[in-house]
Amino acid sequence: MELFKVFNENLKREFLCAPLNHPNIEYEWIERKITIDDNPNEIIFIGNLIDDGSIDVISLYDEDIGFFDKNKNFVTPILFHHLNMNRDIYKKLCEEINKSLKDFRIDKEGMSKNIQNLINRLDDDVPFYMDVLKYIRTNKFPAEIDVKQSNVDELISFVNKDKKEILTDYPHLKLMINILENQAI
């Protein structure tokens, strides 16, 4: 997350925090009260959202906290300046935003429920993850894997296609992505 990044049309799939020159923000200094854990807190915004029909607005704590623009960037007008981040309320708000965005960041059109379940299992089940990595390296499907080979192949294809975006949301797949990249050499 880079504060005050100047928006341009080439930015795709980024977390834009208080970006400059974004067409969907009406810039003005605003302090809003957001109630978190029954405590009202003053949060600084750099402007209001302009919903022109090309954005998907995201709300948290009954407040519009940002949006996905047409380039699939998540944009927030909340001022997550390093001085603000020293305050617990900004840290909590940032964590909550990141937590709620995890499901939105990857373009899920190509992600089946099977892939989602396998990605979650890879995070929790180390022996399963090692068996999948063994399959990638040897191209021999291990008998220990209790999942259909076609589902694992679908997962590998999906990960191979969207490496950078997937790594942003699922850092536990870094080893798999490294192995897949080294195979291509």
> Is residue 184's pLDDT more than 70?
no
Question: Based on the domain organization, do 25 and 62 belong to the same domain?
Answer: yes
Residue 27 structural domain: 2-105
pLDDT of residue 97: 87
Question: Based on the domain organization, do 54 and 71 belong to the same domain?
Answer: yes
pLDDT of residue 98: 82
The alpha-helical segments, DSSP class H, found in 44-148 are: 88-105, 113-124, 126-138
Boundary-marking domain end, from 42, 70, 105? 105
Amino acid at 34: I
* Residue 64 near residue 49, CB atoms below 8 Å: yes
Question: Based on the domain organization, do 89 and 114 belong to the same domain?
Answer: no
Query: Which structure tokens are listed for 12?
Result: 């795709």
* Residue 163 near residue 181, CB atoms below 8 Å: yes
Q: Select the more confidently predicted residue: 105 or 180.
A: 180
Distance between start and end Cα atoms, the chain? 31
Question: Based on the domain organization, do 117 and 173 belong to the same domain?
Answer: yes
Question: Based on the domain organization, do 94 and 124 belong to the same domain?
Answer: no
Q: Select the more confidently predicted residue: 9 or 50.
A: 50
Question: Based on the domain organization, do 121 and 53 belong to the same domain?
Answer: no
Question: Based on the domain organization, do 26 and 82 belong to the same domain?
Answer: yes
User: Binning pLDDT at 50, 70 and 90, where does residue 167 land?
Assistant: confident
CA distance 110 to 173: 17
Count of domains for the chain: 2
Boundary-marking domain end, from 52, 76, 105? 105
Boundary-marking domain end, from 70, 105, 140? 105
Question: Based on the domain organization, do 96 and 11 belong to the same domain?
Answer: yes
CA distance 185 to 156: 17
The alpha-helical segments, DSSP class H, found in the chain are: 88-105, 113-124, 126-138, 149-161, 163-169, 174-183
pLDDT of residue 105: 55
Encode pLDDT of 74-124 as tens digits: 899 999 988 999 999 999 998 888 887 765 555 555 567 778 889 989 999
pLDDT of residue 103: 57
Question: Based on the domain organization, do 114 and 47 belong to the same domain?
Answer: no
Q: What is the mean pLDDT of residues 168-178?
A: 86
33: β partners: 42
> Is residue 11's pLDDT more than 80?
no
What's the predicted TM-score (pTM) here?
Answer: 0.57
Element containing residue 42 per DSSP (H, E): strand 39-49
pLDDT of residue 110: 56
Encode pLDDT of 35-67 as tens digits: 888 889 999 999 999 988 888 888 888 889 999
Question: Based on the domain organization, do 16 and 38 belong to the same domain?
Answer: yes
User: How does DSSP classify residue 84?
Assistant: G
Question: Based on the domain organization, do 99 and 113 belong to the same domain?
Answer: no
pLDDT of residue 128: 92
Question: Based on the domain organization, do 67 and 136 belong to the same domain?
Answer: no
